[in-house]
Every structure is written in C-alpha cells, then in structure tokens.
Structure 1
Amino acid sequence: MVSRRIRVFAPLTVLLLSGPAFLSGCGTAGTNFVVKDDPWRSPEERACLASGVVRQTAFVHERSALGGPSVCGAEIPFEMSAADNGRIALEPPASLRCPMIPQIDSWVKNVVEPAARYYFRQDLAGVKILASYSCRPMNSVEGAQISEHAYANAVDIGGFRLANGDTISVLHGWNGSDREQAFLQRVHEGSCDYFTTVLSPKYNRLHADHFHLDLAHHGRDGLMRICK
C-alpha cells in the first residue's frame, strides 16, 4: 500500500466542521494526516449506489458535497436524519457514504430497539450522534492515519432517547445503573454483527463518551472485525 502525508489547510477544515453533522468525536480536529491507498473504497461505494439499497426519502437524501476539494469525503454522500422508516431520529442527522446507511438502519431496528424494549419497557425514539463525517486523522492525532470519519464511513454514538423522554448516555450509563449497563453492553455486542470496527469506553479514554462504529476493511482479506 502507498501512503501519502496530506496537510489540510485551516480554512478548509473550518468549512468542513461548520455544520451540526460535522461535530467531532474521538477528540478535536487535526489537520495533518497520512492517507493510505485503499482500492476497496470506490468499488464498494459504487456497488452500493448501483444496487439501489439506498433510496432518497424524507429522511435520507443526497448531499451535493462534503466540503472540499480534498482527499476526504464520498463519491455521493447522503444525509440520514432517521432510521427504521423515519421512526427513530438521528440527533443531529449524520453525513454518511452509501454502505453505512443500511447498516445503521438494520442495527437500530435489530439491536437497539429490541434492547430498549427489553431493559426499559420503552420504545426507542432517538439516537444521539456525536460525529459522522469529519476530515481529520484517527483520534485527531496530528500525523496519524486518516480517520474513517474522513470518508463518511464512521459514526460516533453518544446515547439513546426513549419514548418517555429518558436518555441513556454512554458516558454516564456505561458504569451507571444495572439496567443502563446491561442495555449498553447488549448494544455494544450487537453492534459487532453490523460493523467491522466497534470501539466502546473499555477501548480507551478517548471513547469514554461514545461507541465508534465503522465499516473499514481489516486484515489481508478485509473481513476481520475489531470489537473492543
């Protein structure tokens, strides 16, 4: 693999982080990162787009751009404001590439909603998004490899809102009440069935307040999963 060191100039960084969907998780934005040539990215995204699995609706629509020009972004980015046919709000909406959208939708329907009903006897109403697209290095460490957030291929989840108005945050619930801990553990474990990278508060202190979920390829065949 060929790596390139890229410096994103400050005016561009400010533009990319200006909207609510661009809030930075895993730290604050950096401007100097290493880009590795990943031949799987473009074919994977184009196959998703061609499949028709993602269709524009009232809560999923195409974005014209994610800022730029730069090495960051997606071929056709989308903004997703809700999952499960609009029932579950993403707060705020997330800017994502095509392959992430059906995974988030399935994860919400098959993992988070059942867990909320089981542990709290409540329907799920919303998912708190701390970060989606952000043109920056991993963990916002200057000089590190580019983040999956920079390709709109990752999302950071800060918590969940129930139909009765109660919220369960990752920051306070991970070591909170027995029900909160059990719910978040169930969500964490279930996430590993839908995403190739799942990082929780037990991974390191930078993830104390969120779950990081992405679809990066790992290992020689790209099929390895990281669930921590």
Structure 2
Amino acid sequence: MLKAAFLLCVLSGSLLLTPSSVSSEPVPSAKPLQSTDGPVFLEGIDVPPVKPATAVSPAFDEIADNVGRTNCEIAGLIFQQMPSVDGTADGDAACGIGDPIVVSGVNHRKSKATFRVPVTVSCEFAEILTGWLVKDVLPEAKKRLGVDVRRLGSGPGYQCRRRNNKPDGKLSEHALGKAIDFSEFQMTDGTVVSIEKDWGTDTPKGKFLKAIHKSACKRFTTVLGPDADPNHKSHIHLDVGCHGKKCTYLICQ
C-alpha cells in the first residue's frame, strides 16, 4: 500500500509540469558566435601554388626555429611576455610557440600606434615585425599622408591551423607565431587606408601601400598582397617561413 501511494504521488507531481508551465521559464538570449571587435577578414592562404625562384639575401638563409627565451627585449615594441604555447591544447601538437609575446602596439618618436586586437607572435618574429613597422610603415605614412598611424588593423597572429585552413597538409606559419596579416591602417586624423579598397589606386593611400609592401619584401621571406591571388584581396600576409631546401627563396607578390 505504501509503495502504491508513493507512485501515485510521483505521477501526480509529474502531471503538474504542463507545457505552459515549462514554457514560462525564462529563456537565455542567444550569444553571438564571435566578437564583432575581432578581425573583419579571414586570414587566408599562406603561400601561392608556385614558388618563384628568387634568391633572398643572406639574412634570410638561416632563420632560427622558435626557442624559449627567458627575456624578450625589443626596442619600440609594447608587449607582454607569456608562457610557452603548446598546440596540444588546440588539437595539433605541431602548433605552438616557444617564445610567445602578446603585442599591443609600437612606439615611434612621440607617436604610438596600437593594434586593433592583441597580436600573439614569437619574439623572433616580433623583432622583424617591429623593424618593419617602426622603420618603414610609420615613416611612410608621415611622408605620403602627412599624418601618423594610430591603429594597426591586423589578425591575431597565432592560429593553430594548417595552410589554406585545410585539415591536413603543411603547417601554417601562423601556427608557429611567425606570421601576421594586415587589412588596414587608421591614421590620427581618422583616415583609414584599406588594403582592399586602396590597393592599386593612384592616390597617396595606394602609393603608401605599394611602398610598405616593397619594404616588407626586404624583411620577410613571404609577402603576399592583393596581386598574389584573390585570397589576398583584403590583406597583406607576412611571414618568415623557410622556402626551398636551403631557405633561399623569397616569395614577394
């Protein structure tokens, strides 16, 4: 009898959970898949299908692998050091950075240019990137546009993925913290220089972009802009990957 009474109570309680009572529970609002403050473009193809047989300067012959550094010191760079990045947590043990830093901007004389989103790269790569920004990009902006760069529009740098965003194949230089993509540069007067809109135009903006693309080819082993292929119409890809058996190829497109 006691058992039957208990079952009767359970059944009675369950009948109280009518559809109307369930639907009255507050429903959480849908969350966006990603922040709208992030990059406005997808970091694209890492290398073109064919490598041009162009010898690079001896400075690129031997580019060291990522190795841990107890201290990363780069003049003019605004950054914070962080623990080594292990790609295992991202699902690919081949990814990772031994000497990662998070970069927020660069100082040049009395001006400062900050990244739209924090950039995670290796200390090794950051040294080359800083040289290009401080010695080439910022001075060219002042020379051709008459104003300073305030904001650097780029992707996040480190991304644990394979080339072309495919599930297999060669590892992307982004996965080693040795690559970055730039989409735009914002000036102190509000002017925006867009890779997609201003590339190839016979304007101060277009000439500025051509000048910094040319200078990048003297510092990085891979430079891919809108002339490379349709995948790069919205950004310039820069990396220090090794091309060829002796790392003697420079990809500059």
Q: TM-score range by the shorter chain?
A: 0.7 to 0.9
Counterpart CA distance in 2 for 1:55 and 1:196 is 20
Cα distance per residue 1:53-106 (max 9 Å; x no partner): 536999311223546422211113110111236821122121001111111111
Equivalent residue letter for 1:161:
Q
Given that 1:56 and 1:62 are in contact with CA atoms closer than 8 Å, whether structure 2 keeps it comes out as no
Give 2:43's aligned residue.
Answer: 25
Q: Which moved further from structure 2: 120-129 or 149-158?
A: 120-129
Given that 1:88 and 1:127 are in contact with CA atoms closer than 8 Å, whether structure 2 keeps it comes out as yes
Superposition map of 1:1-228 within 5 A = 20=38, 24-26=42-44, 44-46=65-67, 49=69, 54=73, 59-66=78-85, 68-69=87-88, 70-84=93-107, 87-176=112-201, 178-228=203-253
Structure 1's unaligned 5+ residue stretches are 1-16, 28-39
Structure 2's unaligned 5+ residue stretches are 1-33, 46-61
TM-score (norm 2): 0.68
| CA deviation after TM superposition for structure 1 residue 126, in Å | 2.0
| CA deviation after TM superposition for structure 1 residue 209, in Å | 0.5
Counterpart CA distance in 2 for 1:92 and 1:174 is 22
Q: CA RMSD in A?
A: 2.9
| CA deviation after TM superposition for structure 1 residue 121, in Å | 0.7
Q: Which moved further from structure 2: 66-75 or 194-203?
A: 66-75
Given that 2:105 and 2:114 are in contact with CA atoms closer than 8 Å, whether structure 1 keeps it comes out as yes
| CA deviation after TM superposition for structure 1 residue 137, in Å | 1.4
Counterpart CA distance in 2 for 1:61 and 1:196 is 26
Classify the secondary structure of the residue corresponding to 1:194: coil
| CA deviation after TM superposition for structure 1 residue 140, in Å | 1.1
Given that 1:63 and 1:79 are in contact with CA atoms closer than 8 Å, whether structure 2 keeps it comes out as yes
TM-score (norm 1): 0.75
Counterpart CA distance in 1 for 2:95 and 2:121 is 12
| CA deviation after TM superposition for structure 1 residue 176, in Å | 3.9
Structure number with bigger Rg: 2
Aligned identity (percent) is 23
